[in-house]
Amino acid sequence: MKKLSILLLLGMLPLHAAFSISDGDRFANLDFFIKDSVQIGKFDRDASYRIQNTFTFGLFLKGLAAPNLYFNASAEVNTDKASGLNYRMHSYEPYLGYPYDQLSSGHPEEDNGRTWSFFNARTDWQATPYLRISGGCDYLSYGPARRNKLTLRGSDFFWRAIQDTADYNFIRRPVPTPFIAFDLNIDFVTYSQHAMQLKSLKGYNKYLHAHRLDFKISNNFSFGLTETIVYGGTNALYGNENEEDIRSVEVLYLSPFIPYLFTSAYVGDRDNKAISADFSWKLFNFFEIYGEFFIDDLYNITSFFDDDWWGNKWATSIGIAIDSAKIGAFNWDYNFEYTRIEPWVYTHHRGLGNEYSHFGNSLGSDLGPNSREFYSRLGFSYKDFFNFGLSVSDVAKDTAFGGHIGDLHKYGDPTDKKYLNPESTLHYQEYGAAVLFKPFKIWSIGAKQYLIFGEYKGRRTEVFSGVVF
């Protein structure tokens, strides 16, 4: 029997409408929402305040189309208006960031608006109790880190002062990737494999393949091993000066269970391969110790921590977390995380076609190469009505050659590396506070405040109202 229900709630802001239809076990839920936010920022590299208003309209869709066939999708359209800032026209070159359309007024000095959209969608078919097949365009995530995932960060996005002032025309959000995948679960071991399409240059193909082994050693301890490889066409203007090619999918990388360490040599040893290991140990149902270790490249195992060779590229994140610890009437959360990323991590000597990026954003941590962060956050909440959090982050970021994901190491460049060179490293601290009220089930209102001190100073305030799902 088919059942249709409609919920429509109107107000100043937000507007929320929900539709649901079901037929036996099958169902589909569709939600519309409107969100409005205002961000105010001032930094020492920009003497004036910048005020930006972002208006968002979006929808969420999820459901069960057939037995064991699940689907979910979302889409949003955003409009930005800024004071004291003119957005440049976007060339739609992916390495310049996710594209947007400039809202032109006919007067370039007044073009302070833009519109842009995001979407993601995926379908999952649980073919057998042991095999799941997936596909779509979505955010993919590997590893347990909370603040700085090193291999694939999914949709994780954190405001960072040094990036926010670098280029106002850059949309700093992870971008979903088209993918096909399968997961094979056998007892305490799960094998996962993903093939993804990336974007860096118009007209040039770029791909990422990843496979992973998850070992569930016990109910509270798990261990994972991941291997990734990135490759694509290289334009002479942006990569090797003597090379220009357009790559197609390497079928061998689609073959399951074969390490990329061997298959990369088979196809010419010119692709960007990396391996990582991670663990998660959960205690008392709410306390977790976790860690990730990422190796982007390595000359040989005996020179692993040797600074004489720039190609020894690795990173690590370790942390502890407390989730929903009940103390009195409140649920408490805490997270501490330390991250170290060596110079040249995520870069590649063949340029954008092999760089560990998608639409100009790092697929791993957005700290980028040659950086370090100590991060701590304490939060508490009361049911679904109120949430408050305080955070502090101590950041060191080297701005010299080898400290940006787009840096290209060429023949003749220095072969040594210097981690956080005092002459070129920027140190600063970010203090944050965030509060969220949800007076009704479908309505939320909140604010965030960031203060930056050290060699880099500034502040940023955000006030928003909308629907949180």
Domain map of the chain by residue range?
33-466
pLDDT at site 313: 92
* DSSP conformation class of 234: B
Token code pair at residue 132:
């799941």
**What is the predicted pLDDT for the residue at 238?**
52
pLDDT of residue 16: 57
Give the C-alpha separation, 79 to 438, whole Å: 24
Beta carbons of 230 and 198 less than 8 angstroms apart: yes
Calculate the CA 304 to chain-centre distance: 27
- Cα(94)–Cα(200) distance, integer angstroms: 5
pLDDT of residue 1: 45
Which residues of the chain fall below pLDDT 50?
1, 3-14, 468-469
Strand partners, 254: none
CB neighbour list of residue 365: distance below 8 Å, 6 or more residues apart: 148, 149, 150, 153, 315, 317, 339, 341
* Tokens standing for residue 6: 């409609």
- For 101, the 3-state DSSP assignment is strand
Identify the pLDDT of residue 356: 95
Q: Which of 101, 175, 169, 110 is nearest to 138 (CA)?
A: 175
Strands (E), 300-424: 313-327, 330-341, 357-358, 361-362, 371-382, 386-398
Cβ(10)–Cβ(24) below 8 Å: no
Cα separation of 30 and 17, whole Å? 8
Q: What is the pLDDT of residue 196?
A: 97
Q: Which CATH class is domain 33-466?
A: mainly beta
In this structure, which long-range contacts are made by residues 424-427, counting pairs with CB atoms below 8 Å and at least 24 apart in sequence? 424/398, 424/399, 424/400, 425/396, 425/397, 425/398, 425/399, 426/162, 426/395, 426/396, 426/397, 426/398, 426/399, 426/455, 426/456, 427/394, 427/395, 427/396, 427/454, 427/455, 427/456
Q: Which amino acid is at 241?
A: E
- Across-strand partners of 16? 9, 33
pLDDT digit string, tens, across residues 176-227:
999 999 999 998 999 999 999 999 988 889 999 999 999 999 989 999 999 9
Q: What is the DSSP letter of 94?
A: G
The Cα 355–Cα 154 span in angstroms is 17
